[in-house]
Structures are given as C-alpha cells and as structure tokens.
Amino acid sequence: MLEEKQEMIAQLTGIKSSKKNYYTELKKTVEQLEKKNLQLEIMNEIMKSIKVDMPLDNILSNMIDKLQMLIDFDHISISLLQNNKLVLVNVYPKDSRCVKIGSTIFEHNSLYWTALNEKK
C-alpha cells in the first residue's frame, strides 16, 4: 500500500519522467562528447602525419581516409590565395578534376571565394 502511494506520488509529481528526461539528455551529451573526442583524435593523427618537407600529394593521401571518418565527401581540393588570386593547387581523387590544377578560380558565384570571404 505504501509502495503504491509512493508510486502514485512519483507519477503525479513527474519525478519518473524528469529522471527519464535527465538520463536521456545525459546520454545524448555523452554521445556528443564521444563524437567530439573521436574527431579531435583524428585531427591530431592528421596533424602528426604531416611533415614540413612532405609533398602535397602525400599529405592529401594521408589525410583522405582519416577525413572521411569525420565527414562524407567524394571530392576534395586545395586552393591557395596568391597575389589576391585563388589558385587550385591540388584535388583528390586525381581523376575528378573539374578545373585544371593551376587554374585561377574567379570570385563570381564561387563557393571557394564564399568560403574564403566568410572564413569557413
């Protein structure tokens, strides 16, 4: 009888539902932290694999598999800002080139320039 009253009080006051919500939110937070931790570990591995005198092709090939663990992509490219011009310097995979390496990327309607200007 006492147990039934306590159960009824708990249901009426929402103790069980608030505990359930708390544990659900806590579980989500832990999952997000684990995901962030994995991302940081992968980024750290990428940074450790880069050597100063390493060719850009080697850097990219070392990064690709690890990056795909973080984000899904089919194509990746690197552009450098040289003399106020954005120049495509490398792409992966090699056979997916839409624009020739060494080409200048013009600012009009350019995703590259948008990313650069918005620092994203």
The angle that helices 15-49 and 2-13 make with each other, rounded to 10 degrees, is 60
The residues spanned by each domain of the chain are: 1-73, 75-120
Instruction: Report d(CA 76, CA 68) in Å as an integer.
Output: 10
pLDDT band at 14 (very low <50, low <70, confident <90, very high): low
pLDDT band at 4 (very low <50, low <70, confident <90, very high): confident
Q: Does the pLDDT of residue 62 top 80, yes or no?
A: no
From residue 28, alpha-carbon distances to 23, 25, 33, 40, 76 in Å are 9, 5, 9, 18, 31
Please write the tens of the pLDDT for every residue from 71-110.
Answer: 888 888 888 888 889 998 887 777 765 778 888 888 888 8
Please write the tens of the pLDDT for every residue from 16-37.
Answer: 667 777 788 889 999 999 989 9
